[in-house]
Structure 1
């Protein structure tokens, strides 16, 4: 079960790398506009804020990848960063868009459950 937990952690990390790319580099491009349902004017006005937000998503991905790199010793690191992703997803779902709950929080919660299940 540990390999499945690590696979979900890796998927969550890759998702956050993808979000980083969308927010930092594609925010005002067609892919970014579609992903976030914005007009070009709104995207241009918020581009700097989105890039900052993307950087934070990159830090979440880096933390998850670090935990994977540490192997079994990275359990606590993976738990911490998955918890950060889950909390960020809850906040995003409450303040921005409900779909964030399913895109961020649910995968992070599944990863946490699998991590703890593999450890038992």
Structure 2
């Protein structure tokens, strides 16, 4: 179990680094437009600054996860996982795209449950 948690955390961090890449560098390109189901290239251009800001936050979430592992601080890790879960829930709710919940929140929920079961002896 001790290898499972860091493995999942690194996967979640990689996922958020990829989100950052898409939002900051691919938003106005065909890959970004397709990934986020944007209406048009014009819409992508008009919203690219907002997307870059959102991408930066995803980068910070990934950095927080990796820093938590580096410090071996599971309380900090739990904080960042909860932030990601909330972001995934809100993103799915606000965009009406349930797929967001499964892509962003579910891996963090699974990891959080494993941490709780492992460290809090349930």
> Is the pair's TM-score, using the shorter chain for normalization, greater than 0.5?
yes
The CA RMSD over aligned residues, in Å, is 0.8
Structure 1 contact 5–114 (Cα < 8 Å) conserved? yes
Q: Report the Cα offset of residue 6 of structure 1.
A: 1.4
1:19 aligned residue: 19
Residues 1:85 and 2:89 are matched in the alignment: no
Between the two structures, name the one with larger relative contact order (CA 8 Å, sep ≥ 6): 1
Alignment-derived partner of residue 54 in structure 1? 55
- The whole-number CA distance in structure 2 between the counterparts of 1:118 and 1:14 is 23
Where does structure 2 lack aligned partners over 5 or more consecutive residues? none
The alpha carbon displacement at 1:2 in A equals: 2.0
Distance (whole Å) between structure 1 residues aligned to residue 110 and residue 10 of structure 2: 12
Aligned length, in residue pairs = 118
Aligned to 1:63: 64
Distance 2:2 2:87 in 1: 25
Does 2:30 match 1:44?
no
Deviations 1:48-88 (A, max 9, x none): 000000001111001000011112xx101110000000000
| Unmatched 5+ stretches in structure 1 | none
Aligned to 2:7: 7
Asked whether the 8 Å contact 1:64–1:78 carries over to 2, the reply is yes
> 1:6 and 1:117 mapped to 2: Cα distance?
15
Matched with 2:94 is: 95
Q: Distance in 2 between matches of 1:46 and 1:36?
A: 12
